[in-house]
Structure 1
Amino acid sequence: MARDKAYQKAEQRIEKARQEGAIKLDLSNNQLTELPEAIASLTRLQQLNLSNNQLTELPEAIASLTQLQELNLRNNQLTELPEAIASLTGLQQLSLSDNQLTELPEAIASLTGLQELYLRNNQLTELPEAIASLTGLQRLDLQNNQLAELPEAIVSLTGLQVLFLQNNQLTELPEVIASLTGLQVLDLDNNQLIELPEAIASLIGLQVLFLQNNQLTELPEAIASLTGL
């Protein structure tokens, strides 16, 4: 079976990486439906690429990869993340785009070193309050989900520079968005926004603001020049 061959191939590559003390492992494009438990042996691993497979879940063994800095899970079939992800406290970049996630676990609060989080093309309807712990986050990609609102917890993301929210179902923005003073790019295209809060004028570092295909009738005067409208 192709599945068995893919699994065996992954096991072989994991064993080779273990013997070599590798810090990088690329298992992308292998039609993997599950990740071998042997991955737990790669305790020195810093970069793991599992993109373009058919993974529906991650094993608890992932908790052993405490040195991991980059984890790419783009284009799989993940519907949830395990609590074990809380052990990956060294993660700086996490790509979960193009999966089937409907929510993020509270365990994500442990990823305090995260700088880039990619979640585009999932089925998220809300963000957990736990996102407040990601104070080092610089880039957050949430486009093409089903978000109807943003949590007050985003007030903690003061280091955020780029925020992609296009193609969601947002009807309003919270006033606390004013706290994101480091924000340079904000994309809100293709939502259901009726108005913008005056607080958005406090985003003094904002260089690019996208607002096409909403239901806005007017803009706060202080930001109108940024949109070209």
Structure 2
Amino acid sequence: MFQKLILSIVVLLISTNSFAQSKSLLSEEELSEAKVYTNIDKALKKAAEVYILDLSSQGIDKLPKTITRFRNLQKLILTDNQLTEFPPELARMKKLQTIYVDSNQIETLYLNTSDSRSFQNLENLYVGFNPLKAIPENVKNIDLMMVSLAGCKYLDINRVFTSLASINTLEQLDLSYLNLDTIPWEVVNLYGLTTLDLSANPAMEWDTSIAFLSQSKSIEEIILKHNKLVEISESFKKFKNLQVLDLSYNDKLSLRQVLDVTKGIEQLNSLNLSHCEIRELPKSIGEQKKLWDLYLQHNRLTRVPIELGNLEELENINLSYNDISELPEEFGSLQSLEKIYISNNPLEFLPKDMESLNDLKYIELPKESLSKDIKKSLKKMWPYAKIKYVENNIDE
């Protein structure tokens, strides 16, 4: 009887331990609140509690085998080190979701997928800015959702897509800083692809490439930062599901031409024109009536046209880091606004009509230029909104 009792207790302990080890992954929200460990020796003392390990810029040329002790690790950051190979130990870390090995010295990406349990939960792989020459075909055995190849200039991009096109789960692809002049035709065959980053490819033949990309029925977001764009292709109007367009850091843009094109993009709801040296918003900004998000921070605006008040669906606007001293009364017509960012402007007052913005949840304002009386009145104007006053910083 006593032996049976002992046996039952042992079985129970083993079961409990197995359950603890197999507990589910932290959600994105839980992970965002988890502690980030940056010292591997200190982290090893609490190995079971480590979900995020950031070992970036520590001169690491080889990972210690003790890395496998972090059985609950979901995010590993090894950016900017001296690694020459992809750490083979990572294949055995079943809970890893995100791996950053960008900005190292990795020439060959060896991914051991011989065991069906290898990279069991891996979704996001950042291998950019390495002297990679190829992507292994067995990458298709991993259910990746995001791959970054940014800055891998030695890659034969057409051969790469032989491997990437086989990843049925792929949703996000970063092809920035690759000196591309055309889009590989296989991109359109990535039927689940929603986000494509083509930033810093200024030699791209854009009219041809965008016309080709517009055949995709899945793409929802295109990022085109740092491309020295002057105009954008009329073919953008052919996209059926494009919702987000990021044109930031293109300081030669013909804004009137851009707005003429974007108003014709059927599903577009987010437009980023930050860091574009914009001095004046044309009246046609009022024709972008489907926008939910408009980013105009870090420009040279001195005024906001009254036509902006026509954007009745706008929920979020960022006008910070400009030279705006007043907002038009029509700003109060933006009844859907939930977030306003207008810090780092010489703003001295807000129009009274803005008190009708009943959905406002958050607003960032300049700390220095608004008087104490105005600040008090704003508390009464928006009793349920979070009001944050930001000190002026030099716009870099």
Distance 1:171 1:33 in 2: 44
Instruction: Tell me which of 11, 36, 55 is aligned to 2:157.
Output: 36
Name the stretch that deviates more: 180-189 or 29-38.
Answer: 29-38
Structure 1 position 24, deviation (Å): 6.0
Amino acid in structure 1 at the alignment position of 2:232: P
**Secondary structure of the structure 2 residue equivalent to 1:173:** coil
Distance 2:354 2:173 in 1: 40
Residue 78 in 1 paired to residue 201 in 2? Answer: yes
Structure 1 position 139, deviation (Å): 2.4
Residue 182 in 1 paired to residue 313 in 2? Answer: yes
Residue 54 in 1 paired to residue 177 in 2? Answer: yes
Structure 1 position 62, deviation (Å): 4.4
Q: Which runs of 5+ in 2 are unaligned?
A: 1-104, 109-130, 358-362, 366-374, 379-396
Distance 2:155 2:264 in 1: 30
Aligned pair in 2 of structure 1 residues 190, 213: CA closer, same or farther (>3 Å)? same
Amino acid in structure 2 at the alignment position of 1:70: T
Aligned pair in 2 of structure 1 residues 35, 205: CA closer, same or farther (>3 Å)? farther
Distance 2:302 2:200 in 1: 29
Aligned pair in 2 of structure 1 residues 29, 39: CA closer, same or farther (>3 Å)? closer
**Secondary structure of the structure 2 residue equivalent to 1:163:** strand
Q: Which runs of 5+ in 1 are unaligned?
A: none
Aligned pair in 2 of structure 1 residues 112, 80: CA closer, same or farther (>3 Å)? farther
Aligned pair in 2 of structure 1 residues 188, 72: CA closer, same or farther (>3 Å)? same
Amino acid in structure 2 at the alignment position of 1:94: I
RMSD (Å) for aligned C-alpha atoms: 3.7
Amino acid in structure 2 at the alignment position of 1:28: L
Cα distance per residue 1:177-222 (max 9 Å; x no partner)? 1221111221111112243222221100112222222233433211
**Number of residue equivalences:** 220
Distance 1:133 1:44 in 2: 32
Residue 136 in 1 paired to residue 259 in 2? Answer: no
Cα distance per residue 1:116-158 (max 9 Å; x no partner)? 2233344354431211112422222322221223344433432
Structure 1 position 112, deviation (Å): 4.3
1:94, 1:118 within 8 Å by CA — same for their partners in 2? yes
2:279, 2:300 within 8 Å by CA — same for their partners in 1? yes
Identity between Structure 1 and Structure 2 (%): 22
Aligned pair in 2 of structure 1 residues 110, 211: CA closer, same or farther (>3 Å)? same
Residue 209 in 1 paired to residue 334 in 2? Answer: no
Normalization by structure 2: what TM-score?
0.46
Q: Which residue of 1 aligns with 2:222?
A: 94
